[in-house]
């Protein structure tokens, strides 16, 4: 089949990019080119920004209760097409169909939560701040918001922001990941079918040039970004420098601590899913397991067995439980990091390098890798590998384990496995990460909680999802009113 040529969606029209630079979108399991994505120019960002700014004036005047009717329609459309969208996620990203469907479920949940906007964006009022004087605070949209997405959740991550942005009365430009842009292309067809007025939602495909044009554009007021930490830092600095509000979610290196009193079977199953699910390409993937005391031997043996059970292959094949990594370059980078870990003194209990799957010779496959004796401060302890690699570390006490957790640069997630309530409370209190799991391996906040990364995993103040998104996409206006009695007409 001929690869699909992706279009931009601007002002309610599908239009071919003026750029003659295109990039292949490659199925990471089969190696087939499934689409070609344009590297749109800054002029196309400018066109989308102007259109969105024009549409914003009318859109903010649509009452919130009416704006959410578009979201109700969108929710139903996403439900109807969830299988097709999920298959596309598997095809362009590599994760299994079940993982892709779980991803789309989270996207839909954010649409559902944003349907509560008539209450969520309510203001406040204080009567009589002085005799006869009232003060009120209302929330108004910021204007045009841009969403810049990563490859690893192409169907979900734009929806951490988009439903809240439009429900609060903003217009939006989405710049999908150039590695996985087809899912958002399909979702945009559903956004169009939901009937949003032209210019309210726009899609511009491209890479870094497009992103920089967004960051510098004077008509864009807010930028939501999810991706790696170096790029998140850049987005935060450049977007803020041009006066925008910016929320930039970055990378991660997530530790899970296993105490000797943890339920071994449950812990093993959950940690294996966290470390090897989505082939480890999750910002909430467990990448370091820190055993405490006697947990070491039992867990090491159990997790090794669990990792061996992963069936690696094309995510649309039913028995498969782990797909490929996104690109050949990514596979090479991960294999290089495994070698560095070995050179720095770690031992491979399982080495997933040099993997090929007979039916899919062109796929970027790795098998689960488990590295033992990872030293604090080493590359394997500090670097986001973003592949199916779990490093094992050991601590003698809970305090030592928490110190290891807190020594990291990132703060996206930290988890504890235990049956002790007091250890759990201590961990929740002391661990320096914004998403905490207690006997949970992927502590992904539901749509009605903010996605709360800390440290180098987040730059900004207000996170994606829920109340934070509502605050991010609105600016407060405070009004102080005096209406003297003498001015009243007598009726
Ligand atoms: P990435 O940083 O390479 O790309 C993200 C986006 O930034 C893409 O749209 C890309 O076009 C753009 N971009 C890339 N380089 C740029 C540059 N130099 N200048 C301007 N824009 C640029 O990230 P990725 O590889 O697509 O995604 C994986 C990363 O995202 C991992 O680090 C992962 O941990 C992180 N992530 C974080 C979260 C979170 O919630 N914190 C969630 C998902 C993924």
**HEC profile of the chain:** CCCEECCEEECCEEECCCCCCEEEEECCCCCCEEEEEECCCHHHHHHHHHHHHHHHHHHHHCCHHHHHHHHHHHHHHHHHCHHHHHHHHHHHHCCCHHHHHHHHHHHHHHHHHHCCHHHHCCCEEEEEEECCEEEEEEEEECCEEEEECCCCCCCCHHHHCHHHHHHCCCEEEEECCCCCCHHHHHHHHHHHHCCCCCCCEEECCCCHHHHHHHHHCCCCCEEEEECCHHHHHHHHHHHHHCCCEEEEECCCCEEEEECCCCCHHHHHHHHHHHHHHHHHCCCCCEEEEEEECCHHHHHHHHHHHHHHCCCECCCCCCCCCECCCCCHHHHHHHHHHHHHHHHCCCEEEECCCCCCECCECCCCCCCCEEEECCCCCCHHHHCCCCCCEEEEEEECCHHHHHHHHHCCCEECEEEEECCCHHHHHHHHHHCCCCEEEECCCCCCCCCCCCCCCEECCEECCCCCCHHHHHHHCEEEEEEEEECCHHHCCCC
Q: Looking at ligand 1, which atom is closest to the CA of residue 212? A: 20
**Residue 275 region, left (φ>0) first, then alpha (ψ -120 to 50), else beta?**
alpha
| Same domain as 350, residue 242 | no
Residue 443 placed within a domain:
no
Tell me, what CATH number does 322's domain have?
3.40.309.10
Q: Do 126 and 177 lie in a common domain?
A: yes
pLDDT at 489: 79
Q: How far apart are CA 441 and CA 450, in angstroms?
A: 18
Distance 174 CA to ligand 1 centre (A): 14
pLDDT of residue 397: 98
* Residue 452 placed within a domain: no
Instruction: Flag whether 485 is in a domain.
Output: no
**pTM exceeds cut of 0.85:** yes
Active site residues: 283
Ligand 1: nearest atom to the Cα of 457: 41
Domain shared by 79 and 56, yes or no: yes
- pLDDT at residue 82 in the model: 98
Residue 278 lies in a domain: yes
258 and 238 part of one domain: no
Q: How far is the CA of 117 from the centre of ligand 1 (A)?
A: 29
Is residue 143 in a domain? yes
**Residue 73 CA: distances (Å) to CA of 69, 79, 253, 295, 425:** 6, 10, 38, 50, 42
Task: Please provide residue 385's backbone torsions phi and psi, each rounded to the nearest 5 degrees.
Answer: -85, -35
CA of 250 to the centre of ligand 1 (A): 7
User: Is 462 within the bounds of a domain?
Assistant: yes
Ligand 1: atom nearest CA of 228 is: 32
From residue 210, alpha-carbon distances to 144, 152, 240, 300, 333 in Å are: 16, 19, 17, 46, 26
Distance from the alpha carbon of residue 81 to the mean position of ligand 1, in angstroms: 26
* Ligand 1 pocket list (CB less than 6 A): 148-153, 175, 177-178, 207-208, 211-212, 226-228, 231, 234, 249-252, 283, 384, 386, 412, 451, 453, 457
Judge whether 238 lies within some domain. yes
Mutation choice for ligand 1 from 227, 283, 434, 466, CB with most ligand atoms inside 8 A: 227
Residue closest via CA to ligand 1's atom 38 equals: 283
Residue of 209, 231, 459, 468 best suited for mutating to test ligand 1, as the one with most atoms within 8 Å of CB: 231
Q: Is residue 446 part of a domain?
A: no
Residues 42 and 150 in one domain: yes
Q: How far is the CA of 150 from the centre of ligand 1 (A)?
A: 4
29 and 135 in a common domain: yes
Q: What pLDDT is attached to residue 288?
A: 98
Distance 369 CA to ligand 1 centre (A): 24
Q: So what's the pLDDT on residue 1?
A: 75
Same structural domain, 242 and 285 = no
Domain shared by 365 and 237, yes or no:
no
Q: What is the pLDDT along the chain (491 residues), one digit of tens a residue?
A: 789 999 999 999 999 999 999 999 999 999 999 999 999 999 999 999 999 999 999 999 999 999 999 999 999 999 999 999 999 999 999 999 999 999 999 999 999 999 999 999 999 999 999 999 999 999 999 999 999 999 999 999 999 999 999 999 999 999 999 999 999 999 999 999 999 999 999 999 999 999 999 999 999 999 999 999 999 999 999 999 999 999 999 999 999 999 999 999 999 999 999 999 999 999 999 999 999 999 999 999 999 999 999 999 999 999 999 999 999 999 999 999 999 999 999 999 999 999 999 999 999 999 999 999 999 999 999 999 999 999 999 999 999 999 999 999 999 999 999 999 999 999 999 999 999 999 999 999 999 999 999 999 999 999 999 999 999 999 999 999 999 988 887 77
Best of 40, 224, 228 to mutate for ligand 1, by most ligand atoms within 8 A of CB? 228
If asked whether residues 182 and 322 sit together in one domain, one would say no
9: containing domain: 4-250+457-478
At 353 the pLDDT is 98
Q: Hey, whose CA ends up nearest to atom 14 of ligand 1?
A: 208
- For residue 482, the tally of other CB atoms under 10 A from its CB is 10
Residue with CA nearest ligand 1 atom 6: 150
Q: What is the CATH number of the domain that holds 53?
A: 3.40.605.10
Q: What are phi and psi of 252, to 5 degrees?
A: -160, 160
Number of domains in the chain: 2
């Amino acid at each position: 089949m001929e690869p699909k040529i992706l279009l931009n969606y601007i002002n309610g029209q599908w239009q071919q990019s003026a750029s003659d630079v295109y990039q292949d979108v490659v199925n990471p399991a089969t190696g087939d080119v499934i689409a070609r994505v344009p590297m749109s120019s800054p002029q196309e960002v400018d066109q989308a920004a102007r259109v969105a700014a024009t549409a914003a004036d009318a859109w903010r005047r649509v009452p919130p209760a009416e704006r959410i009717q578009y979201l109700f329609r969108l929710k139903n459309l996403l439900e109807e097409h969830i299988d097709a969208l999920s298959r596309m996620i598997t095809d362009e990203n590599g994760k299994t169909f079940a993982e892709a469907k779980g991803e789309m479920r989270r996207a839909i949940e954010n649409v559902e939560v944003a349907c509560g906007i008539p209450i969520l964006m309510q203001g406040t009022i204080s009567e009589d701040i002085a005799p006869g004087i009232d003060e009120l605070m209302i929330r108004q949209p910021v204007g045009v918001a841009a969403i810049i997405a990563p490859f690893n959740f192409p169907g979900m991550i734009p929806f951490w922001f988009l439903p809240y942005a439009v429900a609060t009365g903003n217009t939006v430009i989405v710049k999908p990941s150039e590695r996985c842009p087809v899912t958002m292309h399909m979702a945009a067809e559903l956004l169009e079918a939901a009937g949003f007025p032209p210019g309210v939602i726009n899609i511009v495909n491209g890479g870094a040039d497009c992103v920089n044009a967004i960051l510098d554009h004077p008509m864009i007021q807010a930028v939501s970004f999810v991706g790696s930490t170096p790029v998140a830092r850049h987005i935060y600095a450049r977007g803020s420098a041009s006066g925008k509000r910016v929320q930039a979610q970055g990378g991660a290196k997530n530790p899970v601590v296993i105490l000797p009193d943890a339920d071994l079977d449950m812990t093993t199953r959950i940690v294996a899913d966290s470390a090897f699910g989505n082939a480890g390409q999750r910002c909430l993937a467990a990448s370091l397991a820190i055993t405490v005391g006697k947990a070491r031997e039992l867990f090491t043996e159990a997790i090794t067995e669990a990792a061996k059970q992963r069936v690696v292959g094309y995510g649309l094949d039913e028995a498969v439980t782990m797909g490929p990594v996104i690109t050949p370059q990514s596979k090479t980078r991960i294999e290089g990091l495994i070698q560095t870990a070995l050179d720095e003194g770690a031992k491979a209990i399982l080495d997933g390098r040099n993997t090929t799957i007979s039916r899919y010779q062109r796929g970027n496959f790795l098998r689960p890798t488990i590295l033992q004796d990872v030293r604090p401060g080493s590359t394997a302890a500090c670097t986001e590998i973003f592949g199916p690699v779990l490093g094992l570390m050991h601590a003698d006490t809970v305090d030592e384990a928490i110190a290891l957790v807190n020594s990291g640069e990132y703060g996206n997630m930290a988890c504890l496995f235990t049956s002790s309530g007091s250890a759990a409370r201590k961990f929740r209190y002391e661990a320096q990460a914004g998403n905490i799991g207690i006997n949970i391996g992927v502590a992904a906040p539901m749509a009605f909680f903010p996605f709360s990364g800390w440290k180098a995993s987040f730059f900004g103040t207000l996170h994606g999802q829920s109340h934070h998104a509502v605050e991010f996409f609105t600016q407060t206006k405070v009004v102080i009113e005096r209406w003297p009695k003498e001015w009243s007409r007598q009726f």
